[in-house]
Amino acid sequence: MQVSVVGGAGFVGAHLVRDLCAAGAKTLVLDSRELAPGQGDQPGVAEKLAYRRRQLLSNAEIVRCDVSEKTCAAQALDGKEIDCLYYLAALPVVHLANQNYVEAADSMIRGLINCLEIARESKSVRRFVYVSSSMVYGSFTQNPLPETAATAPTNLYGGFKLAGETLTRAYLGNTDIESVIIRPTGVYGPTGLNNTVVQTFCETAIAGGVLEARDARDTFIDFTWVEDLTAGLAQAGLVPGIGGETFNLSFGRARSLSELVEMVVAAQPGTRVLFAAEHDRTRPRRGGALDIAKARERLGYAPQVDLEAGVLRYLEFLRGGVSRPRAGASYA
């Protein structure tokens, strides 16, 4: 089986690539990222990029390509006989999309359209997996929240992701190519570079800094260990009979920022915490978890790492350890 992962040098993408290669898929990565660290990179970036190259991407073919330029993407995929194409290209966090809306639109809309066109023109692609986000739901209206819940994004990131879902269905609806949409949330783990809350808290604690927790008691996140997510993503490219379906992928349990703070402090004694009452207005209110019953039933999705274990594993990685290997689905 031949697979292409657009955005495969990123955080989630690189872990997915490792799973796909380990499962026997010949994997092509398309990514605009410069895998060598730059002079302006923050401390720790070089080590994380090196880990991705050495541990996660070593068995894949990598082509540096900005898919917002259709010619570049078409040339990279020409003659590859790709069976399944995963699309993960995006500015990775909410505030970046809000601040850099042109760049966000290039990767999340223009690049997606180009890849959908190429897939539609292809004679080999049988499935297109679009990685969306729980941000398409906006504020949660029930707990747990199923895939059938209303979509009402409250920021540009969620809006672009929802537009991507619509485009994916519209482009492929009258073709023989199956579309599968995945909505993850709260992803964290080794090599994260996007200053998400788990990364920020753990790195700050190790550095001896002060954790700044805003609205900690009333802010809930369904935290998802990256390797649990990518196990589900790998299955989304393989399992038959799921064309046209949408799946939530998360751990399936909401935890408060207060709980996360307690776990980090317990694992890194002496860590100082500053609590603030204000809420981040760029983010929707989350009072619960995603409903992952459909993914469990249809994909065989079975997340293993709860937040307690995940925080310890992540701190171990940051202190110089390595993430534990995990068997993936077979693509042979």
The per-residue pLDDT for range 203-246, each reduced to its tens digit, is 999 999 999 998 899 899 999 999 999 999 999 999 999 999 99
Q: Does domain 2-185+225-250+289-303 have CATH number 3.40.50.300?
A: no
Amino acid in position 239? V
Over range 147-152, report the average pLDDT: 97
- At 283, is the pLDDT very low, low, confident or very high (cuts 50, 70, 90)? low
Give the number of other CB atoms < 10 A from CB of residue 325.
10
Over range 187-199, report the average pLDDT: 93
Q: Pull the structure tokens for residue 121.
A: 């023109």
pLDDT of residue 170: 96
Mean pLDDT (the chain) is: 90
| Cα–Cα distances in angstroms (integers) from residue 78 to residues 28, 124, 128, 213, in the given order | 12, 11, 17, 48
Q: Pull the structure tokens for residue 321.
A: 């350890």
Among the ranges given (100-109, 199-208, 253-262), the one the predictor scored with the smallest mean pLDDT: 100-109
Over range 123-149, report the average pLDDT: 96
Cα 292 off chain centre by:
16
Query: Among residues of the chain, what percentage have pLDDT more than 90?
Result: 77
| Cα–Cα distances in angstroms (integers) from residue 165 to residues 98, 130, 202, 210, in the given order | 19, 7, 33, 39
pLDDT of residue 45: 85
pLDDT of residue 95: 63
Q: Who contacts 306 (Cβ-Cβ below 8 Å, separation ≥6)?
A: 251, 253
Over range 55-84, report the average pLDDT: 95
